[in-house]
């Protein structure tokens, strides 16, 4: 039995008029074949060679990967796996030559040809040359739509990634103390997520303290020392087994002033509103508009999307934006992140991962949003 | 005045018979232009578009980068900087179209043409198509050689990255305790390096506990609980301001047995020997052989290189291997990492970054190698 993600990838290729999907983005390779190598030091920092997945319109598939990714490749769902030498100790590896030879080999084994669907933003020139396709089409759009609702296997992975993020937020509430740096607290938060995952995890997101930084809303942690009564934003997106969790907590370390509570309650009300109205059929732009109106009623706004789908990529289609006319569907996992920012007070953004069910929605791994942390 | 790295890149292009160097590896872009975006969640996880540097044989230069890398691009040394939209909140960004338009624009502004020197392992097909070069050569080899000795600016960066790694090793000695997981200790180690750097840093290397894992020698930390008298390996390679530090400490948490002390003393003796004999003119393979013989005299061996150069990439040319005939030169920064492994006892690898001086060598940021940590 074909994994449903592989099947959907094959169908996306077919619907786009392609005989083959040629995948070169790390997230789509993970989606189609379950190949999830580490990415925390960029892709293949040692071996430097490309990774490529091939999926035929009937679901036959193969993978070409450098030897640093060998363990991940062996654990993948690919029918044919060709590992090429990108790194060796007793001679210098000819990365480009070895990759080209691997492509030639898999082309023969699988009979790759005809119309190819590719991801042009990451397609290597050497791959395009080796394949010598008669015609290559952009397959991004059908792939994006195929991935919008999650399969049964993915639902379990998404809940686990959301739980990893929730563990991070618990550690955030526990470890934030005046006198520690943002990086100190972030280290504990990260350890909680990594211990849950059982391995190092890539982490996207934001970690901010103080009025100016939280009012700006985005940025990675720095060595700023956290002070008493500082507002904090902890936006945590850990990648576990190739799937991203996400979440955002905002809190004052000490005693929140009235102005801060107003920001907090504004964002909380909008998030609560989302949980009331999210269900199959609601249009992404309408949900986005509803959340913006809720925040605007209190006199605030936010300069970013209201949320986004998530999976093997941290941002997926659809996003909650004014231009997105797609209706939500059962099986989507949507990040919802309304916010309120005030340069005189700071920023509050509250985010949960929300699963769309047959009749409504439910948070994938809810954690408490607290306006303050005891200092 | 041209930065010396830019000048060396230009000369490498010229020596290879190229009119332009077209750079697409993140480390060579950093080297030539000082563009050092974050890489800890792979390259551009949100915007997904390529980054490209252009260096003419006379040193004129330009950079094309997606808007998520805007701050890094503005801080770079590029004469011409074109930031294209890879991510937007109020519409969907056309990544491939925007990148192609940016390439067309910089091609016109800088007059790019003639013979191009490229890095074929990462050259995007869309870039190759947009440039429409009459001829493209592989520029990796001359670039590799140009980067082997460090410029004055790089020497300061290398010492700082080595110091970050040393701070990590101090934290390793301080935080390793029975009952903590590898990931717990690694989090503190990482926090020490990140607080020193003032920002999140990508970290390569290995972090291992117990007989079996340390005897294997490589691997990232997991949730294994560290036990009393466990052997530990802490190989830390943090990337600070685009330059990598590296180092390896090995220690027993508790009381080392005689067999472990023999492994430790074997690796230490080889590292001490390296410091005695490293100087300009010694051939990499001869140094490698000397270290292997030193370890073999005690009855051990190691299945990896004896070391490697380091800089904007964590592994650079030359490496300390039996096949490398390059002589060491003043201004090289060489990682030296002799080791001894025994499946019945565990593994010990001891590594310092060593700078080659006019007459000999010196460690860039020495830290103490200790056979044991008090439990």
Stretch 173-232 of chain A: residues touching chain B, C-beta under 8 Å? 181, 183-184, 186-188, 190-191, 194-195, 198-200, 202-204, 220-223
Mutation site, A195, A237, A288, A316, interface B, largest B CB count within 10 A: A195
Phi and psi, residue A187, nearest 5°: -60, -40
Question: How many CA atoms are closer than 13 Å to the CA of A249, on its beta-carbon side?
Answer: 25
Q: What is the pLDDT of residue A46?
A: 63
Structural tokens at position A295: 């925040």
Contact yes or no for B126 and A138 at CB 8 A = no
Residues 6+ apart with CB under 8 A from A11: A57, A146
Contact yes or no for B46 and A315 at CB 8 A = yes
Phi and psi, residue B186, nearest 5°: -60, -35
> Sign of the C-alpha dihedral, residues B21, B26, B31, B34?
positive
Question: How many CA atoms are closer than 13 Å to the CA of A296, on its beta-carbon side?
Answer: 8
Check if B17 contacts A (Cβ < 8 Å): no
Which region holds residue A219: left if phi is over 0, alpha if psi is between -120 and 50, else beta?
left
How far apart CA B24 and CA B26 sit, in angstroms, is 6
Nearest to B40 among A49, A184, A202 (CB): A202
Q: In terms of CA atoms, which chain B residue is nearest residue A40?
A: B40
Q: What's the pLDDT band for A90 if we cut at 50, 70, 90?
A: confident
Stretch 319-338 of chain A: residues touching chain B, C-beta under 8 Å? 321-323
pLDDT higher than threshold 70 for residue B45: no
Strand partners, B309: B316, B334
Q: What's the pLDDT band for B46 if we cut at 50, 70, 90?
A: low
Q: What's the pLDDT band for B89 if we cut at 50, 70, 90?
A: confident
Contact yes or no for A191 and B203 at CB 8 A = no
Tens digits of residue pLDDT in B322-360: 999 999 999 999 999 999 999 999 999 999 999 999 999
Q: What is the pLDDT of residue A371?
A: 98
Which segments of B210-267 are extended strands (E)?
A: 231-240, 243-244, 248-253
Query: Is A251 within 8 Å of A370 (Cβ atoms)?
Result: yes
- Mean pLDDT calculated for residue range A311-333: 97
Q: Output the average pLDDT for chain A.
A: 96
Q: What is the pLDDT of residue B332?
A: 98
How far apart CA A123 and CA A113 sit, in angstroms, is 16
Tens digits of residue pLDDT in B29-42: 999 999 999 988 87
Q: What is the pLDDT of residue A41?
A: 84
> Which chain A residues contact residue B305 at CB under 8 A?
89
Q: What is the DSSP letter of B219?
A: -
Contact yes or no for B223 and A198 at CB 8 A = yes
> Which chain A residues contact residue B41 at CB under 8 A?
39-40, 202-204, 239, 314
Stretch 43-72 of chain B: residues touching chain A, C-beta under 8 Å? 43, 45-46, 48-50
pLDDT higher than threshold 80 for residue A62: yes
Tens digits of residue pLDDT in A251-263: 999 999 999 999 9
Q: What's the pLDDT band for B288 if we cut at 50, 70, 90?
A: very high
Tens digits of residue pLDDT in A205-254: 999 999 999 999 999 999 999 999 999 999 999 999 999 999 999 999 99
Query: Is B21 within 8 Å of B12 (Cβ atoms)?
Result: yes
Tens digits of residue pLDDT in B3-27: 999 999 999 999 999 999 999 999 9
Q: Which residue has the tokens 């079996």?
A: B212
pLDDT higher than threshold 90 for residue A69: yes
Peptide bond into A193 cis (omega under 30): no
Query: What is the predicted ipTM?
Result: 0.95
Q: Output the average pLDDT for chain B.
A: 96
Q: What is the pLDDT of residue B313?
A: 94
pLDDT higher than threshold 90 for residue A48: no
Query: Is B125 within 8 Å of A120 (Cβ atoms)?
Result: yes
**Number of A–B residue contacts, CB under 8 Å:** 162
Tens digits of residue pLDDT in B106-128: 999 999 999 999 999 999 999 99
Contact yes or no for B41 and A204 at CB 8 A = yes
Share of chain A above pLDDT 90, in %: 93
Query: Is B172 within 8 Å of B234 (Cβ atoms)?
Result: yes
The b/e string for B211-234 (b: 16+ C-beta within 10 A; e otherwise) is: bebbbbbebbbbeeebeeebbbbb
pLDDT higher than threshold 80 for residue A170: yes
Phi and psi, residue B50, nearest 5°: -75, 160
Contact yes or no for B188 and A187 at CB 8 A = yes
pLDDT higher than threshold 70 for residue A1: yes
- Mean pLDDT calculated for residue range A317-330: 97
Q: In terms of CA atoms, which chain A residue is nearest residue B50?
A: A121
How far apart CA B370 and CA B267 sit, in angstroms, is 12
> Which chain B residues contact residue A308 at CB under 8 A?
none
pLDDT higher than threshold 80 for residue B48: no
Q: What is the pLDDT of residue A107?
A: 97
Strand partners, A309: A316, A334
How far apart CA B12 and CA B357 sit, in angstroms, is 24
3 state SS of B207: strand
Structural tokens at position A54: 């091939």
Q: In terms of CA atoms, which chain A residue is nearest residue B92?
A: A323
Q: What is the pLDDT of residue B173?
A: 98
Q: What's the pLDDT band for B90 if we cut at 50, 70, 90?
A: confident
Share of chain B above pLDDT 70, in %: 98
Check if A127 contacts B (Cβ < 8 Å): yes
Structural tokens at position B98: 């925007």
- Mean pLDDT calculated for residue range B122-151: 93
pLDDT higher than threshold 60 for residue A60: yes
């Amino acid at each position: 039995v074909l994994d449903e993600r592989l099947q959907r990838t094959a169908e996306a290729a077919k619907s786009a008029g392609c005989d083959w999907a040629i995948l070169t983005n790390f997230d789509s390779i993970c989606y189609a074949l379950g190949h999830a190598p580490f990415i925390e030091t960029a892709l293949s920092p040692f071996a430097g060679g490309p990774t490529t997945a091939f999926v035929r319109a009937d679901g036959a598939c193969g993978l070409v990967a450098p030897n640093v990714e060998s363990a991940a490749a062996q654990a993948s769902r690919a029918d044919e796996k060709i590992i090429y030498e990108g790194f060796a100790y007793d001679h210098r590896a000819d990365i480009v030559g070895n990759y080209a030879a691997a492509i030639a080999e898999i082309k023969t084994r699988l009979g790759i040809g005809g119309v190819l669907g590719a991801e042009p933003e990451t397609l290597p020139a050497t791959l395009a040359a080796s394949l010598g396709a008669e015609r290559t089409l952009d397959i991004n759009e059908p792939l994006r739509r195929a991935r919008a609702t999650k399969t049964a296997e993915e639902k379990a992975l998404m809940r686990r990634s959301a739980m990893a993020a929730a563990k991070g937020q618990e550690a955030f509430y526990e470890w934030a103390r005046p006198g520690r740096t943002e990086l100190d607290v972030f280290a504990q938060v990260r350890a909680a997520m990594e211990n849950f995952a059982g391995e190092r995890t890539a982490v996207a997101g934001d970690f901010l303290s103080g009025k100016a930084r939280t009012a700006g809303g985005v940025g990675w942690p720095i060595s700023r020392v956290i002070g008493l009564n500082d507002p904090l934003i902890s936006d945590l997106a850990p990648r576990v087994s190739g799937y991203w969790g996400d979440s955002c907590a905002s809190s004052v370390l000490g005693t929140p002033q009235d102005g801060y509570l107003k920001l907090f309650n504004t964002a909380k009300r909008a998030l609560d509103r989302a949980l009331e109205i999210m269900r199959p059929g609601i249009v992404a732009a309408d949900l986005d508009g509803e959340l913006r109106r809720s925040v605007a009623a209190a006199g605030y706004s936010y300069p970013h999307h209201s949320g986004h789908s998530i999976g093997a990529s941290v941002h997926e289609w659809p996003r909650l934006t004014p231009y997105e006319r797609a209706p939500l569907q059962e099986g989507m996992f949507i990040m919802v992140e309304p916010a309120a920012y005030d340069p005189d007070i700071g920023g509050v953004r509250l985010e949960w991962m929300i699963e769309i069910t047959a009749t409504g929605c439910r948070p994938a791994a809810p954690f408490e949003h607290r306006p303050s942390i005891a200092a």
